[in-house]
Amino acid sequence: MKYIYIKTWGCQMNEYDSSMIVKYLEKTGQYLITKNSEKADVLVLNTCSIREKAQEKVFHQLGRWKKLKNKNANIIIAVGGCVATQEGKEIFKRAKYVDIIFGTQSLHKLPKMIDEVEKNRKFVIDISFPKLDKFNNSLTITNKGYTASISIMEGCNKYCSFCVVPYTRGQEISRPSDDVLFEIASLAENGIKEINLLGQNVNAYQGPTFDGKICYFSELLRLISEIDGIERIRFTTSNPLEFSDDIIEVYKDTPKLVSFLHLPVQSGSNKILQLMKRSYTTEEYEKIIEKLIKARPNIQISSDFIVGFPGESKKDFKETINFIKKINFDMSYSFIYSSRPGTPASEMKDEINIKEKKERLYILQDCINKQTMSWSRKMLGSKQCVLVEGTSKKNAMELYGKTENNRIVNFHGSPKMIGKFVNVQINEIHTHVLHGKLL
């Protein structure tokens, strides 16, 4: 038996991909997963290229692994994910001790690629986009917990000016609806209660059906809600362009779909949205939110924001802050703009100094944090349905679980409740966690 160590950077899709890699390797019966890199025979780095200096981060990690390979020449080093797809052979040119480079769509080939390196001791690369091969070769992911993520589609056709995803993940392609439903049903049989649907533009899902028709995202949500054992449905990440009325209608009649939505807007300035090639306006985004609130009055919205995009004036930034307050976002992921090689935005003139960008990010995050606390305070004294996931990390005498609106709640209860839904009354509000009393 050989030991495999996997290091994962990036989004939930990357985490999902790594879980698939584990299953492909375990299926061969030749490998065991280890959490100790120094014990490993094969080192796998699953990368992300969204953030600035992603490539440098990769080479810093590879430099640390090089020391392990200097001690043991038989160690195999494999680099996968978005940076691998984007950089390809350039990684090997700079780090000749790397043995394997595999792409986001070829991770199912990793076991054979490892075998090839062991036999021939030659560098192997496969960063092709063989469409659904990755999913056709997928295995049901069995989780030890009670929540699970499942990829239902991959890639992006939007080509936002700042984003590398279309180049690293390819064009949008949806898994057949029957495959998705079968995998979720299998997870439910293994005790999964909450499912999170993944995709770069998850609401653009158009999966082929067994009879040659198309299953749209709204229909898929309703079909999943009929699966016994699945009590909660989440999805990420959505694009406002694809958030059609038929999806909004699902919020009216499908209570298993949570009253919490992550819908990235990126900026509150129409000028910046146009430069980003987001193809919608703040007014159009606001109409979507209005329809959602009408369909589900208690829904809470989180979003993504990029601060300091090339051309963003103080007026543009002020418009973003005003928009945040107007929509009353609950949470957000917010970042300073970082230029990604090969994207149209990388050619734009960036005249905003880093100090100004950091100040804007602080103001934006402070605004969001205040709104997050305001939403949390509204929960004080309320009854919340909590999926109990285990014992609290800080207090073994307490249980913890997650509310429908993504809050962690600690409370006293019996270990027999783990894996079940219970009602908890919220009696304490803290920045990152709530405390409650079992009802």
Does residue 117 sit in the same domain as residue 170?
no
Average pLDDT value for residue range 184-199: 94
- Which of 330, 360, 378 terminates a domain? The answer is 378
Determine the pLDDT at residue 57.
87
Query: Looking at 241-250, 332-341, 410-419, 422-431, which range is the least confident one?
Result: 332-341
Long-range contacts of 15-19 (CB under 8 A, 24+ apart): 15/149, 16/141, 16/149, 16/150, 16/151, 16/198, 17/46, 17/80, 17/81, 17/104, 17/107, 17/151, 18/44, 18/46, 19/141
- Tokens representing 134 are 């990755």
The residues, any chain, with a CB within 8 Å of residue 73's CB and separated by 6 or more, are: none
pLDDT confidence tier of residue 136, bands split at 50, 70 and 90: low
Determine the pLDDT at residue 338.
87
- Which of 61, 95, 126 terminates a domain? The answer is 126
CATH number, domain of 193, equals 3.80.30.20
Does residue 110 sit in the same domain as residue 145?
no
Determine the pLDDT at residue 170.
85
Does residue 119 sit in the same domain as residue 172?
no
Q: Percent of the chain scored above 70 by pLDDT?
A: 96
Q: How many folded domains does the chain comprise?
A: 3
Determine the pLDDT at residue 194.
97
pLDDT confidence tier of residue 142, bands split at 50, 70 and 90: low
Q: What phi, psi does 378 have (nearest 5°)?
A: -65, -20
367 annotated to a ligand binding site: no
156 annotated to a ligand binding site: yes
SS3 (DSSP) at 286:
helix
Determine the pLDDT at residue 20.
86
11 annotated to a ligand binding site: yes
Asked if residue 305 has pLDDT above 90, the reply is: yes
Q: Which domain holds residue 409?
A: 380-438
What are the angstrom distances between the C-alpha of 84 and each of 16, 226, 242? 17, 39, 29
CATH number, domain of 60, equals 3.40.50.12160
Does residue 187 sit in the same domain as residue 333?
yes
Residue with tokens 């919490």: 260
Determine the pLDDT at residue 11.
78
pLDDT confidence tier of residue 143, bands split at 50, 70 and 90: low
- Tokens representing 52 are 């600035």
Does residue 289 sit in the same domain as residue 149?
yes
CB 232 within 8 A of CB 284: no
pLDDT in tens, 59-96: 899 999 999 999 999 999 999 988 898 888 989 999 99
Average pLDDT value for residue range 111-139: 80
CB 312 within 8 A of CB 352: yes
Does residue 285 sit in the same domain as residue 406?
no
Does residue 303 sit in the same domain as residue 337?
yes
Q: Which amino acid is at 162?
A: F
Query: Looking at 103-107, 143-147, 223-227, which range is the least confident one?
Result: 143-147
Does residue 331 sit in the same domain as residue 410?
no
Does residue 49 sit in the same domain as residue 154?
no
- Which of 378, 403, 421 terminates a domain? The answer is 378
Average pLDDT value for residue range 105-132: 87
- Tokens representing 432 are 């990152």
pLDDT confidence tier of residue 315, bands split at 50, 70 and 90: very high
Average pLDDT value for residue range 323-340: 94
pLDDT confidence tier of residue 55, bands split at 50, 70 and 90: confident
Average pLDDT value for residue range 50-59: 77
Does residue 284 sit in the same domain as residue 329?
yes
pLDDT confidence tier of residue 128, bands split at 50, 70 and 90: confident
Does residue 14 sit in the same domain as residue 68?
yes
Does residue 405 sit in the same domain as residue 362?
no
Asked if residue 4 has pLDDT above 90, the reply is: yes
